[in-house]
Structure 1
Amino acid sequence: MSAGAVRIAITGASGRMGRMLIEAVLNAPDLRLTAALDREGSPTLGQDAGAFLGQHTGVAITTDVRAGLSQADVLIDFTRPEGTLAHLALCAELGVRTVIGTTGFSDAQKAEIQALSQRAAVMMAPNMSVGVNVVLKLLENAAKALAQGYDIEIIEAHHRHKVDAPSGTALKMGEVVADAIGRDLKTCAVYGREGVTGERDPSTIGFATVRGGDIIGDHTVLFAGIGERIEISHKASSRATFAQGSLRAARFLATRATGLFDMNDVLGLA
């Protein structure tokens, strides 16, 4: 680790999340932007990473991941599973910590992340929002109390550009609830209903997905009983919440050498 400010590299530098992360890092006195990475063909390649803010940072957007990571203590990655894994392998080689906000990993890919985290610390969470992670803890407690006599449905909504469904956050909510009540989400989840489905199986956890417009991220877990409904919801109005959570994760990782962590570890909720 370097002395002083934690050096941060950001992938997807010209995307919506990438720009939010860059702005957040530039406004954080204890962090320093040292690399802004993007894909081949991006029209912003070669530009200053702070140009969209009217700022000069001295950090040019580049495709040279190895060179960028060689100047960083922590990489923050919100891209796609294949790209994240390629970046993570290089981070493991160079000893760079990684904050992973990417979703949509397969079980095999998660196992690969677990293995690579033994070489350089990784913090992975389907949602970096502090609020969402507090909600996950609330859901654990609620599910235990409402395990009998309540049907459980998870409803999520995101913008039209999101490529995976259900969202990683919705799946994490389902996992937390299922674990709390002694079920296996892989066997009890229902991801779609159409036609004559018959009565609802009370042992299932249902998912409903909405995609449209510029919805940043809405999640609701519904516990529907006889005579009452309990809804635990989180609605994001700005990606700034994900950026600020990511910075908290980067600060946390800066003191860890190896291991796989999640936001419960970062927030002291574990």
Structure 2
Amino acid sequence: MVKITVAGAAGRMGGHIARAVYNRQGAELAGAFEAPGNPTVGKSLAGVVGLSGAEGVVGDDPAEALAEAQVLIDFTSPASSIKNLKLCATLGKAAVIGTTGLNEAQKKTLVAQAKKVPVVFAPNMSVGMNLMFKLVAQMAQVLGPDYALEVLEAHHDQKKDAPSGTAVRLIEELCRVRGWNYDEVCRHGRVGMTGARTANELGVSVIRGGDIVGEHTVYFIANGERLELTHRAHNRDTFAQGAVRAALWVVNKEPGLYDMQDVLGLREAGKSEQE
């Protein structure tokens, strides 16, 4: 039985993750916590996350919540996730980080902490989405430079970062295959007299509104035909289930930085997450 603690228990993802842990065979919900001052602190975990059989309360001390755990799952915020990851490294706990929007300094800190404990870090924990990461690279390779590339993503109106971490990962995969520099080729929206589309250009469009959980489409466009590869998340349970799968996988791994490609066995032989 793998003991798992959930950060941000009352957050947008926290309840989904806690329920996924509680209902997953081979996993045990060892604890859950929120930021000090959060109104759910001290309340029953069962009431906060909607689990009638869950024991304990939502705490505000990460170290206490991690005391009996082997793995932390954290989908909170960049600053909080990095702070909690440092604590995991100190305590010798594995971690699964699904937070997006990390800046370069935070990413470097994450890499440094992953030298001390095993960490799964991925912009999207969905099994289907991670298969899409691999498929877009294969499609771009086979179709070749005659096909223009465009990426469209849509999320709820409370999402803070744009484009989404998932869209960024898709773009990175496409750029890798084409040999492009991300910052040089991306066109984030088109306004005014933009001129004709160039061959070395990757259009990126963002939609925000309502309660859209997450939609990502990659377009491969040529004269005479168009291919579209789309992933739509119907609810957040798909991300939570993927995170729990990652937690069960990472618990006995050597220190290092992994992602869902490793968890799902999709990593190409000889390649690592750092490449």
Q: TM-score range by the shorter chain?
A: over 0.9
Q: Deviation per CA, 1:195-221, whole angstroms, max 9, x where unpaired?
A: 111111220111100000000000000
* Moved segments of 4+, more than 6 Å: none
| Residue 101 (structure 1) shift | 0.4
The total of aligned residue pairs comes to 266
Paired residue type of 2:37:
G
In the TM superposition, what is the alpha-carbon distance from 1:253 to its structure 2 partner? Answer: 0.6
Indicate the residue corresponding to 1:236 in structure 2.
233
Look up the equivalent residue of 2:13 and give its one-letter code.
M
Deviations along 1:28-79, one digit per CA (max 9) or x if unpaired, are 1311111111122322111121224251422210110111122211000001
TM-score w.r.t. the length of structure 2 is: 0.94
Whether 1:134 and 2:131 are equivalent positions in the alignment is yes
Q: Give the distance between the partners of 1:39 and 1:174, measured in 2 at CA.
A: 33
Task: Please say if 1:19 is aligned against 2:15.
Answer: yes
Does 1:101 pair with 2:78?
Answer: no
The yes-or-no answer on 1:206 pairing with 2:212 is: no
Which whole-Å CA distance do the structure 2 matches of 1:63 and 1:18 have between them?
Answer: 14
For 2:152 and 2:196, how far apart are their aligned partners in 1? 19
- Bigger shift: 199-208 or 114-123? 199-208
Does the alignment pair 1:44 with 2:40?
Answer: yes
Query: Structure 1 pair 31/151, CA: closer, same or farther in 2 (3 Å)?
Result: same
Q: 1:58 and 1:138 mapped to 2: Cα distance?
A: 42
Residue segments in structure 1 that go unaligned for 5+ positions in a row: none
CA distance in 1, matches of 2:183, 2:90: 34
Shift of 1:246: 0.4
In the superposition, relative to structure 1, how do residues 196 and 120 fare at CA in structure 2: closer, same or farther (>3 Å)? same
Structure 2: how far apart are the matches of 1:65 and 1:21?
A: 17
Asked whether the equivalents of residues 159 and 217 of structure 1 are also in contact (C-alpha less than 8 Å), the reply is: yes
- Which segment drifts farther, 191-200 or 132-141? 191-200
Residue in 1 aligned with 2:193?
Answer: 196
Gaps of 5+ in 2: 268-275
CA contact (8 A) 1:34 1:59 kept: no
Aligned letter for 2:101? Answer: G
1:8 aligned partner: 4
Report the aligned-residue RMSD.
1.1
- Which amino acid in structure 2 is aligned with residue 164 of structure 1? D
State the distance in 2 between where 1:102 and 1:42 align. Answer: 19
Conservation of the 8 A alpha-carbon contact between 1:22 and 1:50: no
**1:35 aligned onto 2:31:** yes
More off after superposition, 211-220 vs 144-153: 144-153
Q: Equivalents in 1 of 2:108, 2:185: separation in Å?
A: 22
Using structure 1 for the length normalisation, give the TM-score. Answer: 0.96
SS in structure 2 of the partner of residue 174 of structure 1: helix
Q: Which residue of 2 aligns with 1:90?
A: 87
Return the letter of the residue paired with 2:75.
F
> CA separation in 2, counterparts of 1:218 and 1:177?
18
Q: Is the 8 A contact 1:13 1:38 kept in 2?
A: yes
Q: 1:55 aligns to what?
A: 52
Provide the C-alpha distance between the structure 1 equivalents of 2:40 and 2:107, rounded to a whole number of angstroms: 31
Distance in 2 of aligned mates of 1:257 and 1:145: 35
CA distance in 2, matches of 1:25, 1:152: 38
Identical aligned residues as a percent: 42
